[in-house]
Chain A
Amino acid sequence: MVEGTSECDVLVVGGGGAGLRAAIAARHEGARTLLVNKGTYGKSGATVMAGADLTADGRSLRRIGFFGESRDTPEKFLLDIVHQGFNLNNQKLLEIYIRDAGDRLEELLEWGMPVERSDERSIFTSGSAISRALVRWAKSVGVEVASDVMTLELITEDDRVVGALGLDLLTGELVHFRAKAVVLASGGWHKAFYPNAGPRDLSGDGVAMAYRAGAALANMEFITFCCNVILWPPIWQGSVFAYALIMLFGGRLTNKQGDAFLEAYDPDVVRIGTSSEWNKCCVSLASQREVEEGRGSPHGGIYLDNGDIPLEVFDHRVRAVFPGWKYHAADFAPMAAMLRKGERIEVGPAVEYFEGGVAVDEGYGTSIEGLYAAGECATSPFGANRVVAATTEMLVGGAVAGSHAAQYAKCTQPTREPSVEIGRLQREILRPLESRRGVSPAEVRSQVQRLAHSHLGPIRTRDRLEELAGILDSIQKEELLALSTTSKSRCYNKEWVEALELRNIVQLLELSARAALARTESRGVHYRSDFPRTDNDHWLQEIVARKGEDRVEWTSRPVIATCLSPGSGKKPYMDMLKEMMLARSQVGGPH
Chain B
Amino acid sequence: MGSADILSTLPELVLIATALLLLVMESAAEPHRELLAATALGGLAIALVTALGYGADGLYYSGMLQVDPYARFVSALALVLAALAIMVAVPYLRRTLEERGEYYSLMLFATVGMLLMVKAQDLTMVFLGLELLSIPLYVLAGFYRHRSSSNEAGLKYLLLGAFAAGFFLFGIALLYGSTGTTSYSGMAQAINSGTELSRVLTLAGFGLLLVGFAFKVALAPFHMYAPDVYEGAPTSMSAFLSTGPKLAGFATLLKLIAVVFAGTMVHWWTAIWILAALTMTVGNLAALRQDSLKRMLAYSSVAHAGYLALAILVTNYDSGFAMLFYLTVYVLTTLAAFGIVSLLEEGEESAMPGVEACKGLARRNPWLAAAFTLALLSLAGFPPTAGFLGKFFLFNATLDAGYLWLVILAVLNSLVSVYYYLRPVVAMYMQPGKNTSALPIPRMLIPALLALAVVALGAGFIPAPLVHATASAISAIL
Does B bind A? no
